[in-house]
C-alpha cells in the first residue's frame, strides 16, 4: 500500500496558471467532471448537478462498454434509480450534459485531444465516483482504479485556472474496516496508519486513494475532500437498490434459505439520493475527510422484522443463517446462481463475528462493520 502511494504521487506536474490565455470562469460558475455517472450514487449526483443554477457544464466521464452505448446505459440507470423514465429523458437532453466514454487510467483519458483540452481548460471541480465494488479481490486488482486517481490529480494540476480544480472522492467505510472498536467511532480526518484498511482489497484501495489525494495536497496546491460513505439504500423516490449489493443479496439468499438473519447491533443506512445531496452540499468544504452516514442508528432487528413481514420468512440467529448458507453451497452444482448470497460468504462471516446474538456487542461496530 505504501509503495502504491509513492508510485502515484511521484513526479506530479507543477501547477502553472495561465489566466491570460484561458480566462477563468465567471464568479460562481461551475464546470464539473463527474466519473461513474452510470452507477446508483453517480446517477443521483448527475441529476442533482444538472439542476443547479451554478453548474453550467457536466462532463459525465465513464468507462467504455462494448455492448451498449453510454447514452443508453445512462438512460437505463437513471430510469431505474429515479423511477421516472420521463425525468430520466429530460436529464439526458440537458444542454449542460456532455457524456464522455474514456479510459480513466490513461493520461489523455482515452479521448480526443480537442475534448481533453476542453475539459482541462474549463473544469472547476472533479468528482471521482467510479470504483469496482468487490470485496473478494486483492489490492492489485484495483490498479486501474488507483491509476485513475493519479490521472485525475494530474488533470487537475494541468488546469490553467488560478487554483486547480478541487477533487471530491467517494471513498468508503471499507477504507477503515479494521478500525479498533475500543477506540470509538472513526475520526473524521485522514488517518496516520493504513493498518485500519487491511482486510480486503476494495477497502485497501480506497484507503490508498485517500492517501494519494492527501499527499498530493501536501506537495501541490491541489485541494480535495474524500467522503467515507456508509451503506446506501435505494432512493427516497423509487426505493431502487442495486441488486448486487449485500443487503439485497441477504434478502434474495434468505428466500432460498427459508429464513432471515437476526442479530444484535444497529445500522445507519442512508438513502442514495440523500447521500448525493450531502456530498454536493459539502463540495466546497475545506475538510480533507468527511463521513456520509445516517446520524440516527436503528436496530438491525427492527429492519429485519420489516423484511420478514414482507417476505413471509422467520427470523433466526445470524450464526444459524450462516450455517444454512454454507450448507446450500453443497446442494447444487451452480450454487451461486441459485443463491447469489454465497458470492459474499466471506463478507457475511466477518460481519457475523461482531454481529451475532452471542457475540459481545462492540461500540465501534454496527451491523458487523465499522461505525463512522
Q: Report CA 254 to chain centroid distance, whole Å.
A: 26
What homologous superfamily does CATH list for 2-232+269-292?
NAD(P)-binding Rossmann-like Domain (3.40.50.720)
CA gap 170, 76 in Å, rounded = 22
Closest CA to 94 of 127, 69, 43, 57: 57
Mean pLDDT per 10-residue segment, the chain (372 residues): 91 93 88 96 96 97 88 90 86 96 95 97 97 84 94 97 97 88 83 84 93 96 97 87 88 94 88 97 96 91 95 95 89 72 86 61 45 60
Query: What is the reported pLDDT for 126?
Result: 99
The residues of the chain that CATH labels 3.40.50.720 are 2-232+269-292
Cβ atoms 76, 143 nearer than 8 A: no
Cβ atoms 63, 103 nearer than 8 A: yes
Cβ atoms 290, 282 nearer than 8 A: yes
Q: With H, G, I as helix, E, B as strand and everything else as coil, classify residue 56.
A: strand
Q: Which residues contact 60 (CB under 8 A, 6 or more apart)?
A: 34, 37, 46, 74, 97, 98, 99, 100
* C-alpha torsion sign, points 81, 85, 86, 91: positive
CA gap 221, 11 in Å, rounded = 14
What φ, ψ does residue 68 adopt, rounded to 5°? -150, 145
Cell of 241: 437498490
Amino acid at each position: 500500500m505504501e509503495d502504491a502511494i509513492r508510485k502515484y504521487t511521484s513526479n506530479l506536474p507543477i501547477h502553472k496558471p495561465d489566466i491570460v490565455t484561458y480566462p477563468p470562469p465567471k464568479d460562481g460558475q461551475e464546470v464539473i467532471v463527474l466519473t461513474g455517472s452510470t452507477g446508483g450514487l453517480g446517477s443521483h449526483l448527475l441529476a442533482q448537478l444538472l439542476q443547479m443554477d451554478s453548474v453550467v457544464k457536466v462532463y459525465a466521464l465513464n468507462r467504455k462498454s462494448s455492448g451498449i452505448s453510454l447514452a443508453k446505459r445512462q438512460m437505463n440507470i437513471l430510469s431505474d434509480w429515479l423511477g421516472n423514465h420521463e425525468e430520466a429523458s429530460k436529464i439526458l437532453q440537458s444542454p449542460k450534459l456532455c457524456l464522455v466514454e474514456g479510459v480513466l487510467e490513461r493520461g489523455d483519458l482515452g479521448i480526443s485531444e480537442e475534448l481533453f483540452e476542453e475539459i482541462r481548460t474549463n473544469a472547476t471541480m472533479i468528482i471521482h465516483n467510479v470504483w469496482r465494488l468487490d470485496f473478494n479481490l486483492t489490492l492489485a486488482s484495483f490498479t486501474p482504479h488507483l491509476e485513475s486517481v493519479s490521472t485525475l490529480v494530474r488533470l487537475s494540476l494541468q488546469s490553467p485556472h488560478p487554483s486547480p480544480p478541487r477533487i471530491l472522492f467517494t471513498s468508503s467505510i471499507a477504507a477503515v474496516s479494521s478500525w479498533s472498536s475500543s477506540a470509538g467511532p472513526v475520526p473524521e480526518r485522514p488517518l496516520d496508519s493504513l493498518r485500519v484498511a487491511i482486510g480486503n482489497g476494495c477497502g485497501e484501495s480506497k484507503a490508498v486513494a485517500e492517501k494519494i489525494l492527501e499527499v498530493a495536497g501536501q506537495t501541490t496546491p491541489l485541494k480535495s475532500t474524500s467522503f467515507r460513505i456508509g451503506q446506501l439504500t435505494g432512493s427516497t423516490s423509487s426505493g431502487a437498490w442495486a441488486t448486487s449489493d449485500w443487503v439485497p443479496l441477504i434478502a434474495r439468499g434468505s428466500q432460498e434459505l427459508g429464513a432471515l438473519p437476526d442479530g444484535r447491533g444497529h445500522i445507519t443506512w442512508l438513502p442514495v439520493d440523500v447521500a448525493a445531496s450531502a456530498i454536493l452540499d459539502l463540495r466546497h468544504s475545506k475538510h480533507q475527510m468527511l463521513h456520509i452516514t445516517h446520524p440516527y442508528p436503528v436496530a438491525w432487528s427492527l429492519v429485519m422484522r420489516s423484511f420478514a413481514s414482507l417476505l413471509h420468512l422467520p427470523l433466526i440467529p445470524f450464526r444459524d443463517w450462516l450455517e444454512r448458507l454454507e450448507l446450500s453451497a453443497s446442494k447444487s452444482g451452480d450454487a451461486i446462481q441459485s443463491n447469489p448470497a454465497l458470492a459474499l460468504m466471506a463478507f457475511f462471516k466477518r460481519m457475523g463475528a461482531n454481529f451475532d446474538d452471542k457475540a459481545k456487542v462492540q461500540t465501534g461496530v454496527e451491523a458487523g462493520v465499522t461505525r463512522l
